[in-house]
Structure formats: C-alpha cells, structure tokens
Structure 1
Amino acid sequence: MRIALFSHDSLGLGHIRRNRALAFALARDLPALTGREVSGLLIASSPEATRFDLPDGWDWVILPGVTPAPGGYVPRALASSMQGLRALRAAAISAILDQQRPELFIVDRHPFGIGGELADAIDQVRGHGCRTVLGLREVLDTPSVISAEWEKVGGSARVAESFDEVWIYGDPDVYDPRSTGEVPAALAAKAVTTGYLSQDRPDDGSVLPAGTEAASDLTADVDSSGAGTRPFVLTCLGGGSDGGSLASIAVDAEPPDGHRHLVVTGPQMDTEEFERLRARAGAATTVIRHCDDMPGLVAAADAVVCMGGYNTLAELMATDTPALVVPRKGHRAEQPRRAFALAAAGAVDALTIESLDADVLSEWFADRVGRPTDRSHIDLTGLATVPRLAADLVADTHAEASALVRDAVPAPTTSTTATGTAPPARLRITLEETSHAV
C-alpha cells in the first residue's frame, strides 16, 4: 500500500513534524490492520525536512519553497514569479502522484495547497480510486478569518467534494472547531476527531543540524556532590523563527535553586539572534538550537515554558511536566486560542507575552517545579486512532472495487466453447471481434 502526505510548509516545522508523526504511526500499525506492507512519500517544501528520518520504505520529496509576504506568499529562494512557482509545484506534485498511484492521500491544513496547486492532483488521484483526507489542527483561527479562507478556496462545499474525510487532531472536550464554526457544516459532516497526536511520537531523527545535542547528553550533567543528574527547567521555542521575545525573557530568568535552565531556540532562529542569546545567558543557563529528542527532553524537565504551537503542546501533553504556555502574538489567533483552552481544561498554565518578564518567569519556575500535572483526562490517542481510520477508509475502497468487478461480470449464458464451458464475457467479445476481422 502506498500513501502520500502533503504539507505546504511556509513557516516553521509544524506541518512537517505532524505529517512525519503520522507516517511513523501508519508504518507501525497499518500492516497488522490491513495485512499489507506500507510505504509512502512525504511531500514538503522545507529543506530542513530531510534532517528528520522516516520509517523504512518512506522518503521525502522537497518542492521549491514559499515564504509568507504581505498579501500572500512569495518564492523562498527560486528566481521566479509566484505564478511560475505555483505552476512548477503543481506539475511536480501531479507527476509524483501519477507515478506513485497512492491509495491514501493526506493533506495537512490547506486543502488545495498554495494558490490551488493541489486541485488538479486531487482530482487525478481520486480518479485512480485514491482516498483523500484533509487533516486539521484542532484550532485554526478566529471563525471570521477562517470563513474568509474557506471562501477563498471556493467554499467549504467545494472542499467537501474533494475529500472523503476530515480528521481533526484534537479532543473536542478541550476545543471543538465544529462548534466554533471554524469547520463549517459541509466539512463537519465528514469530520471525525482523533485525539491529540501525543502518545508514541517519534524522536526527531538521527540527522541533526549544527548546534544539536542529544537529550541523553543534556540531562547527564552530574552535580558537584556526585549524587546524580542535576535537575533542569526547559524553555523551548518550536522552530524558533518567531521565538525571540520569549527567548530574551527566558535567558534573563533565574532557574530554581539546584536547577539549571536549558533554552532550545529551534533551528530556524536567526544566527545573530541565537549568538546574542548565548552571550547573555548566565552560568546556570545553556542555550542550544535543537535536540534530537524533544519529547524526551520535555519529559525529563522539572518544568517547561513553551509557545503554543500544535506539535510542542501535543508532545508536552504526553508527559506530566508542568508547563507555562506563552502563545505567539500576531500572524494568527491559533496559538492564544489553543493555549487558553488547554489552560481552562487544567492541562497547562498560560500567560500572554505582555504579562511576562524575567521576574514573573523566575517565580513561576520556583512555584511549579516538583508539582506534576495530571493530563489523563485529555484524549491523547490520535496516533493510534489515525491508522484505524486509514485502514477503514482503504478497506471501503477495496469493497467498492470488488462490488464493481462483481457487478461487471455478466451471468453465464448457454454459449459454450469446445470444452463445453461458457467463456468469460471479455473472451467472448474478443473471439467475435477476431472472427469478424478475419
């Protein structure tokens, strides 16, 4: 069975890491659920995607990239107009999918990609019998903003016509985008919530950027007494492209007594900004770009401060580590809505960046270390649910195909061959056509 996953990747690593987690879950569970081997492609447009490993039999396809700009997107690096880049990306995607003929195509967040680049490809794979899924975070944006986005791509009815199912990667008891209007009725009718993609997430891979350290190295700092590993608190900023304000506060904060403070900026932070943070950090604070096992690092920390991105919080909620979420300001309302919904559910603490400074953060660290957070009431089973949904969807395809074949075979007739057996319908047609031609 071949599977393809797509992410448009205009900012950050969230789309890449979410699809990668899905690939590992599908590779792990689908063979047992379907009795078939599974392989796949992840189509992305960030060159950093290849730093992350994939299951055996899976690979990356990296498209020329885009980056946000006022009023839309522009080519990230290619000397091209946006119209030309869109045409290039669309042609590449269609060619890849036509050659691979996947049975399942999962699109992350943007139903038709950038500028409608996926529209033809989706029609193409559906014509081959491929099942299509639109995967959505549990929080999209304010309903008015999202309504305009649905209209911009042709309306929710058009999106619903192009996808067999909509998978919402969250817990509706925490936040349900169907009830807020972010997922309109036409899509809600095809939508199912999976739970957060939290439990059993893969490590971040073995091919790592410069400045990366292993979680085991970072947590093996033995204190002066030789009694064991020195405890630490953690600040992590996701991809890091927009985490400068929080990082600046974090390096000035004082870790609790007996603790050190690890600040992981993310690989996309500007190099000069990263070096300034390292220079400002006190003796008890270590600043690095990335770690090969962020879930393991979060689980080992005594307290965590983070932004409100989906993947960061999904990984966090698989632990009992106390957390303060400081959502990104601007761009979208997604992070604040997620942070304060989870705070209302008792899963995290949340503050805006305006209400945070080094003293407030120091006090929060001191108050929260040694006080684990119970998150057992949150549905975190998305990576076990998705393979079952995929197996059911593909099984429906096979059932429909079998029914079509069964309906296409005519009932036996009295015509016989030399052996006295009625020939198959196609053979009878072939013999008659051949006789006529002779």
Structure 2
Amino acid sequence: MPDRNRNHRVLMYSHDTFGLGHLRRCRAIAQALVQDHRGMMVLIISGSQIAGAFDYRARVDFVKIPSVIKLRNGEYATMSEHIDLADTIHMRRSIIRHTAESFRPDIFIVDKEPMGLRGEVEETLAFLKERGTTLVLGLRDVMDAPHLLEAEWKHSDMLSKIDRYFDHIWVYGPPDFHDPLSGLDVPPGVHDRMDFVGFLQRSARGDQPSQHQPDGDYILVTTGGGGDGADLIENVLRAFEHDPTLTTRTLIVLGPYMTADLRAGFTQRGTAFPHVDVIDFDPRMEELTANAQSVVAMGGYNTFCEILSFDKPALIVPRIAPREEQLLRASRAAELGMVDMLLPGDAADPARMAEALRRLPHRKRPSEGWDGLTLDGLHNISDLVGKELGR
C-alpha cells in the first residue's frame, strides 16, 4: 500500500454487553486493515470480559473498559454488585474519551450502537468531530425489526444524532440482502452516506486444527457467546435422546457466557453419547467451522458470516425475542435458499429436530442456494479507509 498510509491510526469502539459478536467483528476488520495498510495502527475499545482470549495481529491492540452485561429482559447490570451501573458508565465514558485524546485517531469506527451504551460515546464523537477525525458508524446487515428499532431510537433522537456526527455509515452486508434502516424515517443525508460494503469474510489459520476438533466429519453446534443459547443446546440434546439412531459425530460449543450450572448440566448429558463432544469455548471458532461438515447455529452475524465464508450447509434456529435480528436474517437467508431454518417452537419438537439434524449434512451449500453471494466486505472497507486517508 502507499507509504502515505504509514502511521495512520484507526480507533474502534465495541460496547460488548452481550455475546461475542461486536468484538469479533471489530477484530476481523482491524486485522484486515493492518494487513492491507503498512504501518497502520488499530486500537479497539471493548467491554468484552474475554477480549484478551483472542489473538491479535501486530499493530492491533485493545483497551478494556469495565464490563456491563445485558440481561435477557433487556436491562443492564454491572459485573460487580459493589459498583453502581451509573458509576460504571461514567468510568467507561471517561476511559473512552481519554483514549481518544491520547491515541489521536484519523478514523473512529463505532460498531452498531451509534452513541454507545447509554450514550457513553457521544462526548467522544463531539470531541473527535471538532478535531477533524473521520467518524464512521458500522451497522450489521440486520439491526432489528423496524418497529423495535424505531422505539429504541426515538426517545434519544438517534437518527438526528447519526446525521449530525457521522461522515460515513458502512453496512456490513450487500444491498440486495437487507437494509438495516428499512422502515425508519431516515434523514436524506444519512442515506447519502450509506455504503453497503458486503459480508465480512472470515478465514482460518490452517496451520493446525483446534485441540477440540473431532476426527472425521462432524456437525458443529454453536451458540456464539452462549448467554442466550440454552434453548438451542437443550433442543439438540433432546433430539439425540429421542432418536438413538442419530449417531452423527457432533461437537457442541456452549459459549463462555452460558451460566456455570447450565454448562455443567449440558456437559454431563453429553457424556451419554459417545459421538457427542461438549466444550465450553474455543477462541478459534473459525477453524472449527472451516473443518466442520455442517453447522447448527442461532443466526448471529458473526456465525452467519463464518457459515458463508466456509460455505457450510447450515441449520439456523434464530432467537426471536427480545430482538428479531436473528429471525429476520435467518428468514431472508432461508428465502434465498442459503440455509435451512427452524423456528424455536419447531426445534423444541425432538422428532423434528432429529430429522433436521439427519438431513443437514446433505443439504446444499449457501453458495448453491444464492448465486449472488459475495464476501468482499473486508476488502471494500480497506479500500474505503485507503481512500479516506488519501484525501
């Protein structure tokens, strides 16, 4: 890349209150940027409890802010009962602002939450805009059902703030898959600044398999972070318990945010089947996905991108509440013939789930379902960054 991109700095914000998706997406973008732009430095601000569990390329690092978890009812809580939520948000806001002041980024990329958790990023956005930093909002292909997103954003006047602060809005999906702002009253200026960059392709290192990888063909069952994945694991195990002829080799990854009692129970039940392995977590999910015969998942963005990247036959059982993001993504992908989908109520029927698992290794790959599938998001983001820095 041109030497003019040497020593440029990109700051990324990932609020990380639930699951692993935000951090893993930021990490994928960061690592692609430093690979393509010689001398560039990328710093990720993350609230993930396990940000340090992942490997990072040289010139990619992270700043950990105090963790806040999002409960299944949509409320937030701190990781310690001794620290008030308001105090925690104040600390996070201060760390974010001081990190931006010290790092002096050329570009600031905010992942998914435009103003951050409880508005914690707005002060930093105003500061960086004043000093001429390019401000970018990165959105998933699907945010949520329009009526839910509108209700969430309306009270904070979010669309007007997006219009005020951000120079660019990058959508991490193709325009013919889904528009994350469809159904909202979007200011014209926001639409003018939207770039649909495409899905973010993932890659496996390939130097050695994960220590958890089974021998031979296997179905990978993954819940992502696992905080809301208990129903999927329950339904898969009940399918094996219901149908003793279902003996396909299966690796179940529970996720690091699943509660300890649930993990212990599922692990114990898994020992009843010699062809089923149950593990808590593996930071190299790309390798496990790349080497799997097929995948069962909930339909979060990152797992979906991995399924597409490695072109794996997939069964999606989406979460349908309190957000409809996974439902919308899975429904659209199933409509295009890319994956099979079971609604949670159908997946709770052991006979139906067993039959879906039996069919899964034989279904067509995503690329055979939708000939318009492209995975050029990381390349396009790198090009956009290069053009922005070249101005």
- TM-score normalised by the chain length of structure 2: 0.89
Which structure 1 segments of 5+ residues have no match? 32-36, 207-213, 222-229, 397-438
Q: Name the CA distance, whole Å, in 1 between partners of 2:299 and 2:187.
A: 24
Q: Name the CA distance, whole Å, in 2 between partners of 1:251 and 1:171.
A: 35
SS in 2 for 1:335: helix
Q: Name the CA distance, whole Å, in 2 between partners of 1:78 and 1:385.
A: 43
SS in 2 for 1:331: coil
- Pair 1:78–1:253, CA change in 2 (3 A): same
- The letter for the 1-side match of 2:251 is L
Which residue of 331, 339, 350 maps to 2:330? 339
Cα distance, 1:303 vs. partner?
2.1
Aligned to 1:11: 18
Whether contact under 8 Å (1:30, 1:388) holds in the other structure is no
Which residue of 243, 249, 252 maps to 2:229? 243
Question: What are the Cα deviations for residues 192-231 of structure 1, in whole angstroms up to 9, with x where unaligned?
Answer: 101111x244669x9xxxxxxx84444452xxxxxxxx32
SS in 2 for 1:328: coil
Question: What are the Cα deviations for residues 280-334 of structure 1, in whole angstroms up to 9, with x where unaligned?
Answer: 1222111011224322222322221110111010111112221110001312011
Q: Name the CA distance, whole Å, in 1 between partners of 2:237 and 2:185.
A: 37
Cα distance, 1:180 vs. partner?
3.5
Cα distance, 1:178 vs. partner?
4.0
- The letter for the 1-side match of 2:161 is R
Q: Name the CA distance, whole Å, in 1 between partners of 2:81 and 2:63.
A: 17
Aligned to 1:297: 288
What is the Cα-based RMSD across aligned positions, in Å? 2.3
Whether contact under 8 Å (1:253, 1:362) holds in the other structure is yes
124-133 or 340-349, which deviates more = 124-133
- The letter for the 2-side match of 1:233 is I
Aligned to 1:409: none
Which residue of 380, 387, 391 maps to 1:392? 387
Cα distance, 1:184 vs. partner?
5.5
Aligned to 1:369: 361
- Pair 1:103–1:48, CA change in 2 (3 A): same
Whether contact under 8 Å (1:238, 1:312) holds in the other structure is yes
254-263 or 346-355, which deviates more = 254-263
Residue 43 (str. 1) matches residue 50 (str. 2): no
Q: Name the CA distance, whole Å, in 1 between partners of 2:114 and 2:151.
A: 14
Count of aligned pairs between the two proteins: 374
Whether contact under 8 Å (2:171, 2:194) holds in the other structure is yes
Aligned to 1:234: 220
Q: 1:8-407 maps to which residues of 2 (within 5 A)?
A: 8-31=15-38, 37-68=39-70, 72-77=75-80, 79-181=82-184, 185-197=188-200, 199-201=201-203, 215-219=209-213, 221=215, 230-254=216-240, 259-281=248-270, 282-356=273-347, 357-375=349-367, 376-396=371-391
Q: Name the CA distance, whole Å, in 2 between partners of 1:303 and 1:71.
A: 32
Whether contact under 8 Å (1:146, 1:182) holds in the other structure is no
- Pair 1:256–1:54, CA change in 2 (3 A): farther
Whether contact under 8 Å (2:246, 2:354) holds in the other structure is no
Q: Name the CA distance, whole Å, in 2 between partners of 1:158 and 1:25.
A: 29
Cα distance, 1:183 vs. partner?
5.8
Question: What are the Cα deviations for residues 346-367 of structure 1, in whole angstroms up to 9, with x where unaligned?
Answer: 1111111100133222212222
Cα distance, 1:72 vs. partner?
4.2
- Pair 1:21–1:337, CA change in 2 (3 A): same
Larger CA Rg, structure 1 vs 2: 1
- Pair 1:101–1:216, CA change in 2 (3 A): closer
State the identity %: 33
- Pair 1:367–1:181, CA change in 2 (3 A): same
SS in 2 for 1:253: helix
Q: Name the CA distance, whole Å, in 2 between partners of 1:257 and 1:73.
A: 40
- The letter for the 2-side match of 1:306 is A
SS in 2 for 1:106: strand
Whether contact under 8 Å (1:178, 1:188) holds in the other structure is no
- The letter for the 2-side match of 1:120 is E
Cα distance, 1:130 vs. partner?
1.1
SS in 2 for 1:174: coil
Whether contact under 8 Å (2:160, 2:187) holds in the other structure is no
- Pair 1:115–1:178, CA change in 2 (3 A): closer
- The letter for the 1-side match of 2:69 is T
SS in 1 for 2:93: helix
Whether contact under 8 Å (1:2, 1:104) holds in the other structure is yes
Q: Name the CA distance, whole Å, in 2 between partners of 1:330 and 1:65.
A: 23
- The letter for the 2-side match of 1:92 is I
Q: Name the CA distance, whole Å, in 2 between partners of 1:183 and 1:135.
A: 16
- The letter for the 2-side match of 1:41 is L
386-395 or 174-183, which deviates more = 174-183
Cα distance, 1:77 vs. partner?
2.0
Cα distance, 1:68 vs. partner?
2.5
